Chains A and B, each alone.
Chain A
Amino acid sequence: DGGITQSPKYLFRKEGQNVTLSCEQNLNHDAMYWYRQDPGQGLRLIYYSQIVNDFQKGDIAEGYSVSREKKESFPLTVTSAQKNPTAFYLCASSTGTGYTEAFFGQGTRLTVV
């Protein structure tokens, strides 16, 4: 089945550590996105990528980094510079034409302990 897979589902991090969230899709989509969602809040865009080896900052990129070395993969690193990393992280993909919907992975719930 085609879809988007995020892993892990739950992640605990100690303060000061970097962690990397995985996002893989087999939908042959060009565009991929990372969003952050805090309790009771909407989705805020962290980074997005329209093609391999290219990505752009979203609204809240500080403290995060990404790579897009393969079309299928768009990992997100939450660095120690991110002051409030505890949140629900959602990866999405779309065909990237600008008129099509995004499909989401199941999300990673990150908690700083």
Chain B
Amino acid sequence: RKEVEQDPGPFNVPEGATVAFNCTYSNSASQSFFWYRQDCRKEPKLLMSVYSSGNEDGRFTAQLNRASQYISLLIRDSKLSDSATYLCAQPQDDKIIFGKGTRLHILP
């Protein structure tokens, strides 16, 4: 099975800083990728979709690097409320495969 890999963290970042983390994938056939946010003991919620040209939504920017087979998530001007686990996901055949997530702690 082709994997989706993430650094588990935790990333401890002061409020207001910029933080970025990556997700590597091995199935090069995928055309789309997704970033989800999961709060403790809650379900994952879609944060951003990532296609060939990347995506930006306010303080969040997602990029796709096909040559190196990774997607990235950049969070600018981080807020305390950004503290969560961030999961990347990749459709593979008829399934959707998730990474194990990166834990982010924003420090006051």
Using CB atoms and an 8 Å cutoff, list the residues of chain A in contact with chain B: 31, 33, 35, 41-43, 45, 48, 50, 56, 58-59, 88, 90, 92, 94, 96, 98-107, 109
B side interface size, CB within 8 A: 23
Which chain B residue lies CB-closest to A105?
B43
Query: B2 — which chain A residues lie within 8 A by C-beta?
Result: none
Question: Closest chain B residue to A6 by CB distance?
Answer: B43
The reply on B94 being an interface residue by CB < 8 A is yes
Whether the Cβ atoms of A59 and B31 lie closer than 8 Å is no
Tell me which of A45, A58, A107 contacts B43 (CB under 8 A). A107
A and B contact pairs by CB, cutoff 8 A, 15 listed: A35-B98, A43-B98, A48-B95, A50-B94, A56-B94, A59-B1, A90-B43, A98-B93, A99-B31, A101-B46, A102-B89, A104-B44, A107-B42, A107-B43, A109-B41
Contact of B46 among A50, A56, A103 (CB under 8 A): A103
Report which residue of A31, A88, A104 has the largest number of chain B beta carbons within 10 angstroms of its beta carbon.
A104
Contacts of B49 in A (CB 8 A): 101
Of A42, A58, A94, the residue contacting B87 (CB under 8 A) is A42
